[in-house]
């Protein structure tokens, strides 16, 4: 068994970036960014056919952050990958800066779709997958949805259409951390059983631990091997993963860490300030 230390280190580095940029910004969404760090690390540093020096490369794979509020994890990954200088991260959410509160495809290299209004990124990703099919290209489209996002009607319009058109080049990943703004999913508006719902909509469903690099890799391999239908990976995650006082705390959905909190978080993540 490989230990994937390099990917693990990268994910930790992304988590540090998330803490630093959110502290600097003074607002934003740490919980759902930290929960997705391992998934995005695997996508960008292991899975996807992309070129940071040529962000618009023809036939590239595409990633759409449908849960656009987790922008910090995407920005962290893009900067780490070299799409833009890391200094930009510390200007997140500031007037005149490149990095908007939610992803803006016009202004930020590597951002494939402007998102933030839940459900819409998923829908757009299905259009991208459709375009690749029309052009008979083998590029793949990945999209990350929040669990609470599954409450949006548009998600199911998209799920129905993607299966109908057999978009097997589309892989949706659910960042299933179980919490949304007003509390646990099941208390706010139950989404279970998530896998069964997608099966009923005609999708191939894979479940995995969204913090286990090897499981994420295997799930993506299974998605690629699945023909004739799109795949959804239900990735079980922990909101705020990696920072003990943020883990599973709904209050860290949309609050930025203050100085001391940020320092403590960075300490935990193994970095000296």
Partner 1 sequence: MSKNVATRDAYGDILVELGKENESIVVLDADLSKSTKTHGFSQAFPERFINVGIAEQNLIGMAAGLATAGKIPFASTFAMFATGRAYEVIRNSVAYPKLNVKVCATHAGITVGEDGASHQSLEDISCMRTIPNMTVIVPADGVETKAALRAITEYNGPVYVRLGRLAVPTVNDENTYKFEIGKGVQLKDGKDVTIVATGIMVSEALQAAEKLAEEGISARVINIHTIKPIDAELITKAAKETGAIVTAEEHNIIGGLGSAVAETLAENYPVPMKRVGVKDTFGESGKPEELMVKYGLTAEGIIEAVKAIKK
Binding site for partner 1 (CB under 8 A): 104-106, 112-114, 116-117, 119-120, 122-132, 134-135, 153-154, 157-158, 160-161, 164-165
* Contacts of 212 by beta carbon, 8 Å cutoff, 6+ apart: 38
* 92 versus 170: smaller Cβ distance to partner 1: 170
Q: How far is the CB of 204 from partner 1 (least distance, A)?
A: 20
Cα 143 from Cα 207, distance rounded (Å): 16
| Minimal distance, residue 43 CB to partner 1, in Å | 18
- Report the C-alpha gap between 236 and 183 in whole angstroms: 17
Q: How far is the CB of 139 from partner 1 (least distance, A)?
A: 9
Residue closer to partner 1 (CB basis): 1 or 134: 134
* Smaller CB separation from partner 1, 22 or 124: 124
**For partner 1, which is the closer residue by CB, 8 or 133?**
133
Q: Does residue 242 come out as left (phi exceeding 0), alpha (psi in the -120 to 50 range) or beta?
A: left
Distance CA 126, CA 103 (A): 18
CA 167 to chain centroid: 20
C-beta of 104 vs 209, nearer to partner 1: 104
Least separation in angstroms between residue 112's CB and partner 1 is 7
Residue 205 Cα distances to 5, 63, 166, 183, 198, angstroms: 28, 19, 14, 26, 7
- Which two three-digit tokens encode residue 218? 């295997």
Closest distance between partner 1 and the C-beta of residue 7, in Å? 28
**92 or 162, CB closer to partner 1?**
162
Task: Give percent helix, percent strand, percent coil of the chain, each to the nearest 5.
Answer: 45, 10, 40
Provide, rounded to whole angstroms, the least separation between the CB of residue 22 and partner 1: 23
């Amino acid at each position: 068994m490989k230990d994937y230390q390099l990917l693990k280190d990268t994910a930790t580095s992304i988590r540090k970036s998330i803490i630093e940029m959110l502290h600097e910004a003074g607002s934003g969404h740490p919980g759902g960014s930290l929960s997705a760090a391992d998934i995005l690390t695997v996508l960008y540093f292991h899975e996807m056919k992309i070129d940071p020096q040529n962000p618009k490369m023809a036939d590239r794979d595409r990633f759409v952050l449908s849960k656009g509020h987790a922008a910090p994890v995407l920005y962290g990954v893009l900067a780490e990958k070299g799409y833009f200088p890391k200094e930009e991260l510390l200007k997140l959410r500031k007037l005149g800066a490149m990095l908007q509160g939610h992803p803006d495809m016009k202004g930020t290299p590597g951002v494939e779709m402007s998102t933030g209004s839940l459900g819409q990124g998923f829908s757009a990703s299905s259009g991208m997958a459709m375009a690749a099919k029309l052009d008979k290209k083998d590029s793949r489209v990945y999209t990350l949805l929040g669990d609470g996002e599954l409450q949006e009607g548009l998600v199911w319009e998209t799920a129905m259409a993607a299966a109908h058109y057999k978009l097997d080049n589309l892989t949706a990943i659910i960042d299933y951390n179980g919490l949304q703004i007003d509390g646990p999913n099941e208390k706010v508006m139950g989404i279970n059983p998530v896998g069964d719902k997608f099966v009923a909509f005609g999708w191939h469903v894979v479940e995995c631990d969204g913090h286990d690099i090897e499981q994420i890799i295997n799930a993506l391999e299974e998605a690629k091997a699945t023909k004739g239908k799109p795949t959804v990976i239900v990735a079980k995650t922990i909101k705020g993963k990696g920072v003990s006082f943020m883990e599973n705390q709904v209050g860290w959905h949309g609050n930025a860490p203050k100085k001391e909190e940020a320092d403590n978080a960075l300490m935990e993540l193994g970095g000296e300030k």
